[in-house]
Chains A and B, each alone.
Chain A
Amino acid sequence: MQLDNTTNEFERGKSQLSAFFSFLFSYKTAVILLAALMVLPIAFLVFVAASGDFESIGHLARTVVPQSSLTTLEILLGVGVMVALVGTFSAWLVSFYDFPGRSIFSWALMLPMAVPTYISAYTFVEFFSYTGPLQTLVRHAGEFSSARDYWFPDIRSVSGTILVMGIVLYPYVYLSTRALFQYQSSKVIDCARSLGAGRMRVFAQVILPMARPAIVLGVALALMETINDIGAVEYLGTRTLTFSIFSVWLNQNDLAGAAQLSLVLLLVVAGLLMLERISRRNRQFHDLRTERADQPVERIRLTGKPAWFAVIGCSLPVAMGFGIPMTVLVNYAARRLSESLNPELYKALFTSLVLAGFAALVAALIGLMFAYALRKDKSHAMVTLVRFASTGYAMPGTILALGIFLSLAMFDNYIDGMFRHYLGISTGLLITGSGATIIYAYVVRFMVMAEGTLDAGLSRISPSIDMAARSLGRNQLRTFMSVLLPNLRPAIAVAALLVMVESIKELSATIMLRPFGIQTLSTHVYDYASQALIEDAALGCLLIVVAGTIPVIVLLKYSGIGDVRN
Chain B
Amino acid sequence: MFRIKNCVASVFSIAVMSMATIPVLAADKVNVYSYRQPELIKPLLEEFTASTGIETEVLFLKKGMIEKLEAEGINSPADVILTTDIGRLSGIAANELSQPLANTTLQENIPAQYRDPKGYWFGLTMRGRVIYASKDRVEQNTITYEELADPKWKGKICTRSGQHAYNVALFASMIAHHGHEKAQEWLEGVKQNLARKPNGNDRAQAKGVYSGECDLGLGNTYYVGKMQTNEKEPEQQDWAKSIKVLFPNNEDRGAHVNISGMALAKHSPNRENAIKLMEYLSSGEAQEIYAEVVYEYPLKEGTKPSDLVNSWGEIKPDTLPLETIAKHRKDASRMVDTVGYDDGPQS
User: In the complex, what residues of A have CB within 8 A of residue B20's CB?
Assistant: 433-436, 515, 517-518
Pairwise interchain contact B213-A531, C-beta atoms closer than 8 A = no
Which one of B272-280, B283-291, B338-346 is at the interface? B338-346
Choose one: B12, B64, B213; the contact of A148 (CB below 8 Å).
B213
**Given contact pairs A60-B337, A148-B213, A533-B203, A156 touches B19 in the complex (Cβ within 8 A):** no
A490 at the interface (CB under 8 A from B): no
Complex Cα distance A219/B20, Å?
A: 37
Residues of B within 8 A of A243 (CB): 163
Q: Which residues of A contact B336 (CB under 8 A)?
A: 247
**What is the chain B residue whose CB lies nearest that of A335?**
B232
Q: Are B68 and A526 in contact (CB under 8 A)?
A: no
A358 close to B63 (CB less than 8 A): no
The CA of A62 and the CA of B288, in the complex, are separated in Å by 48
- Give B44-99 interface residues, CB cut-off 8 Å to A: 57, 59-64, 67-68, 71-75, 77, 87, 91
Q: Which of A351-380 contact B (CB under 8 A)?
A: 351, 354-355, 357-358, 361
Contact flags B174-207 to A (C-beta < 8 A → 1, else 0): 0000000000000000000000111111010001
Q: Which residues of B contact A247 (CB under 8 A)?
A: 163, 333, 336-337
**Chain B residue nearest in CB terms to A248:** B333
- The answer to whether the Cβ of B105 comes within 8 Å of any Cβ in the partner chain is no
Contact B39 A412, beta carbon cutoff 8 Å = no
**Contact indicator A253/B212 (Cβ below 8 Å):** no
Interface check B151, CB cutoff 8 A: no
Chain A residues 232-270 with CB under 8 Å of chain B are 234-237, 239, 243-244, 246-247, 249-253, 255
**Interchain CB contact under 8 A, B163 and A251:** yes
- Chain A nearest CB from B295 CB (Å) reads 11
Interface: A301 (CB within 8 A): no
- Interface stretch, picked from A82-90, A273-281, A288-296, A398-406, is A398-406
Contact A508 B37 (CB under 8 A): no
CA distance A146 to B136 in the complex (A): 12
With contacts A64-B340, A354-B12 taken as known, whether A253 is within 8 angstroms of B21 at the C-beta atoms is: no
Q: Are A354 and B16 in contact (CB under 8 A)?
A: yes
Q: B63's contact among A147, A236, A398, by CB below 8 Å, is which?
A: A398
Instruction: Please name all residues of chain A whose beta carbon is closer than 8 Å to the beta carbon of B38 when the two chains form the complex.
Output: 527-528, 530
Query: B211's contact among A146, A235, A237, by CB below 8 Å, is which?
Result: A146
B300 on interface, CB distance cutoff 8 Å: no
Most chain B beta-carbon contacts within 10 A, residue among A234, A246, A515, A535: A515
Q: A409–B68 Cα gap in the complex (Å)?
A: 9
Contacts of A358 in B (CB 8 A): 12, 16
B72 touches A429 (CB 8 A): yes
Nearest residue (CB) in B for A351 is B19
Q: Chain B residues with Cβ under 8 A from A146's Cβ?
A: 211-212
Q: Are B68 and A131 in contact (CB under 8 A)?
A: no
Closest to A511 in B: B62
Query: A516 interface residue, CB < 8 Å from B?
Result: yes
Residues of chain B within 8 A of A527, CB atoms compared: 37-38, 60
Cβ proximity bits A393-436 to B, threshold 8 Å, 1 near / 0 not: 00000100110011001101100100000000010110011111
A523 within 8 A of B: yes
B226–A251 touching, CB < 8 Å: no
B22 within 8 A of A: yes
Give the number of chain B interface residues (Cβ < 8 Å): 65
Bound-state Cα–Cα, A236 to B61, Å: 22
Contact A530 B39 (CB under 8 A): yes
Of all chain B residues, the one with the shortest Cβ separation from A62 is B338
B299 CB within 8 Å of chain A: no
B-contact 0/1 string along A500-541, CB 8 Å cutoff = 000000001001101111100001001111111101100000
Residue interface mask B222-241, A partner, CB < 8 A = 1: 01001000001101000000
Q: Would B347 and A147 count as touching, CB distance under 8 A?
A: no
Determine whether the beta carbon of B197 is less than 8 Å from that of A156.
yes
The residue of chain A having its C-beta at the shortest distance from the C-beta of B161 within the complex is A237
B101 CB–A CB distance under 8 Å? no
CB distance from A173 to the nearest CB of B (A): 29
The residues of A that contact B320 with a CB separation of less than 8 Å are none
* Docked-complex contact A439 and B333, CB < 8 angstroms: no
Closest A residue, CB atoms, query B76: A429
Is there contact, CB below 8 Å, between B31 and A253? Answer: no
Contacts of B161 in A (CB 8 A): 234, 237
- Residue A285, interface by CB 8 Å: no
Contact partner of B71 (CB less than 8 A), chosen from A239, A250, A406, A528, is A406
Q: Is B26 an interface residue (CB 8 A)?
A: no
**A406, B336: Cα distance in complex, Å:** 30
B334 within 8 A of A: yes
- Residues 1-28 of B at the A interface (beta carbon under 8 Å): 9, 12, 15-17, 19-23
- 20 A-B contacts, Cβ less than 8 Å apart? A60-B337, A130-B211, A156-B199, A234-B161, A235-B199, A239-B342, A247-B163, A251-B330, A251-B333, A335-B233, A398-B63, A413-B75, A428-B22, A515-B21, A516-B23, A516-B31, A526-B62, A527-B38, A528-B39, A531-B37
Apart from A251-B87, A429-B75, A435-B16, list 12 A-B contacts with CB within 8 A.
A67-B340, A147-B211, A156-B196, A251-B330, A252-B333, A252-B334, A409-B72, A416-B74, A428-B75, A439-B16, A530-B38, A531-B40
Q: B interface vs A, CB < 8 Å? A: 9, 12, 15-17, 19-23, 31, 37-40, 57, 59-64, 67-68, 71-75, 77, 87, 91, 161, 163, 165, 168, 196-201, 203, 207, 210-213, 223, 226, 232-233, 235, 329-330, 332-334, 336-338, 340, 342-343, 347
